[in-house]
């Protein structure tokens, strides 16, 4: 097995974005220098995804001198390759969180999740980020037996959290909203939305640069040493900082063993079809909302601004991507949309995300002046953006909201950072088998 640090290089070319629809339609290319020599700053941030970029921006807005180190390019990781869905709530339903953590903590988590979506739209507005933000996520039940639960959950959100932007969708309406026989009902959440993820990341980076953040690309951090001043080492340079933020998510490898024991990297894949006419596109998804279904290995799809179907589905638990990603994802796409048999697939790409055992993010102080935030478990567009905000608050002396996450006490994976992998493969394979066999 490859060491997980190799995920930074296993499936990609150094300094080059994934061959995605997003990189082909990026608003700009970034060309920051690599770090050479020794520099100092208040806060060193490792990782140029939403976690790192938003930490850097919010810290710079508070007057900190920030250096951000990224192994490839800004937005190169999951933040530049994902499904673009800006979902409500946490990765786990509120009913589960209430049982696990009690009503009061669950409520704080809901409120933070609401703020996470607002953080996304606020950044878009404040910095004029052109990333095609569009409201609406449709949750589609692939089993009839799930439909009553969807109805109850909508009611629960309304009554317990006063959330009125979501409503139940019955079977007939569902078949009008999505041109597929696969779904029996669900809910539509107009408080959620979807966007072009890479352009969103590039927009935050531009805002951070404007606030004075120094960004270094093609700079892989090899190690760090703690203390009152943290020393962060890359191949050709060193950063001495008062604080360190790790925002490496699925690409962390063994840079920090404690963080690594709490998260598991998994790969997920997306394809983009040829562009469709307005009528063809609307026959697939009538209202231009994003769709996420109820399968264990979730199918998620939406239309791009130029009316391609962007379809995500298929996970693998090895480190290498499948040789033919287009064929790999086309299969679940045709299960949902058999009418696309002849559609051309223009792009296919993969990315790596981090999950935790209980699918809630892992926020921790690794030392008084070293923080990590990761493990958004496929729900990180909004949550990783918010992470930067609460990290900036914590470094600035107000850790109350960081604590709401830290107090989740996310457990480590059984087997620590070495044995977790085979155990996870077993568990995941079992759940996806259940999906396929329908029990």
Give the interface with ligand FAD as residue ranges (CB under 6 A). Answer: 8, 46-52, 69-72, 76-79, 81-85, 87, 220-221, 247-252, 255, 268, 270, 300, 312, 351-353, 374, 376, 378-381, 384
Q: How far is the CB of 323 from ligand FAD (least distance, A)?
A: 17
Mutual angle of helices 380-395 and 103-127, in 10-degree steps: 90
Are 352 and 78 a contacting pair, CB within 8 Å?
yes
Q: Which two tokens stand for residue 275?
A: 């562009």
Q: How far apart are CA 112 and CA 108, in angstroms?
A: 6
Pairing of strands 290-293, 134-140: parallel
Cβ distance to ligand FAD smaller for residue 147 or 194: 194
Is residue 351 within 8 A of residue 81, CB to CB? The reply is yes
Instruction: Using the minimum distance from each CB to ligand FAD, give the nearer residue, 173 or 319.
Output: 319
CB of 424 to ligand FAD, least distance (A): 16
Shortest approach of ligand FAD to residue 159 CB, angstroms?
Answer: 26
* Rg of the chain, C-alpha, whole Å: 21
Token digits for 318?
């090895």
| Cβ proximity to ligand FAD, 45 vs 147, nearer residue | 45
DSSP string, 167-200: EEE-HHHHHHHBS-TT---EEEEEEEEE--HHHH
Q: Which is nearer to ligand FAD, 300 or 337 (CB)?
A: 300
Rounded least distance, CB 272 to ligand FAD, Å: 12
Cα separation, 380 vs 112, whole angstroms: 13
Closest CB to ligand FAD among 332 and 380? Answer: 380
- Smallest distance, ligand FAD to C-beta of residue 300, A: 6
Quote the tokens at residue 231. 């020393």
> What is the smallest separation between the CB atom of 144 and ligand FAD, expressed in angstroms?
26
SS3 252: coil
CB of 380 to ligand FAD, least distance (A): 2
Q: Which is nearer to ligand FAD, 6 or 173 (CB)?
A: 6
- Whether 264 and 377 have beta carbons less than 8 Å apart is answered as no
Closest contact distance (angstroms) between CB of 306 and ligand FAD is: 19
Of all residues in the shown chain, the one whose CB is closest to ligand FAD is: 380
User: What is the nearest approach in angstroms of ligand FAD to the Cβ of residue 19?
Assistant: 13
How far is Cα 161 from Cα 191, in angstroms, rounded to an integer? 13
Q: Are 39 and 239 in contact (CB under 8 A)?
A: yes
Of 266 and 284, CB closest to ligand FAD: 266
C-alpha–C-alpha distance, residues 51 and 47, integer Å = 8
Whichever of 134 and 352 has its CB closer to ligand FAD, that residue is 352
First to last CA, the chain: 32
Spatial CA neighbour of 75 closest among 18, 128, 133, 4: 18
When the beta carbons of 270 and 345 are compared against ligand FAD, the nearer one is: 270
């Amino acid at each position: 097995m490859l060491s997980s640090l190799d995920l930074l290089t296993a499936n990609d070319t150094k300094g080059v974005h994934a061959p995605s629809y997003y990189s082909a339609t990026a608003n700009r290319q970034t060309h920051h220098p690599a770090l050479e020599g020794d520099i100092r700053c208040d806060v060193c941030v490792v990782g140029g995804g939403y976690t790192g970029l938003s930490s850097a921006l919010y810290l710079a807005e508070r007057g900190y001198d920030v250096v951000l180190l990224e192994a490839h390019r800004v937005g190169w990781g999951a933040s530049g390759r994902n499904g673009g869905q800006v979902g409500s709530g946490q990765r786990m339903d509120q009913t589960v969180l209430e049982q696990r953590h009690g009503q009061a903590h669950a409520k704080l988590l809901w409120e933070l999740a609401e703020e996470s979506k607002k953080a996304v739209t606020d950044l878009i507005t404040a910095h004029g980020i052109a990333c095609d933000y569009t409201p609406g996520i449709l949750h589609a039940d692939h089993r009839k037996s799930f439909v009553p639960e969807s109805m109850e959950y909508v009611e629960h959100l309304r009554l317990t959290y006063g959330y009125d932007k979501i409503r139940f969708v019955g079977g007939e309406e569902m078949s009008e909203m999505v041109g597929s026989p696969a779904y029996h009902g669900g809910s539509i959440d107009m408080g959620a939305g979807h966007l072009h993820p890479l352009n969103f990341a590039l927009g935050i980076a531009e805002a951070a640069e404007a606030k004075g953040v120094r960004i270094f690309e093609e700079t892989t951090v090899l190690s760090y040493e703690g203390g009152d001043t943290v020393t962060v080492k890359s191949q050709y340079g060193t950063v001495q900082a008062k604080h360190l933020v790790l925002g490496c998510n699925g690409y962390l490898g063994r840079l920090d063993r404690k963080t690594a024991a709490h998260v598991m990297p998994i790969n997920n894949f997306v394809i983009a079809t040829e562009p469709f006419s307005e009528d063809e596109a609307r026959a697939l998804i009538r209202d231009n909302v994003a769709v996420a279904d109820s399968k264990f290995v979730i199918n998620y799809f939406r239309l791009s601004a130029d009316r391609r179907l962007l379809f995500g589905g298929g996970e693998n638990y090895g480190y290498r991507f499948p040789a033919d990603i287009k064929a790999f994802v086309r299969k679940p796409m045709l299960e949902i949309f058999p009418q696309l048999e002849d559609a051309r697939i223009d792009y296919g790409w993969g990315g790596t995300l981090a999950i935790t055992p209980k699918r809630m993010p892992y926020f921790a102080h690794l030392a008084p002046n070293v923080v990590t935030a990761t493990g958004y478990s496929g729900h990180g567009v909004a949550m990783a953006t918010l992470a930067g905000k609460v990290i900036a608050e914590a470094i600035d002396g107000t850790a109350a909201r960081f604590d709401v996450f830290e107090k989740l006490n996310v457990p480590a994976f059984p087997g620590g950072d070495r044995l977790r992998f085979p155990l996870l493969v077993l568990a995941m394979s079992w759940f996806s088998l259940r999906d396929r066999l329908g029990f």
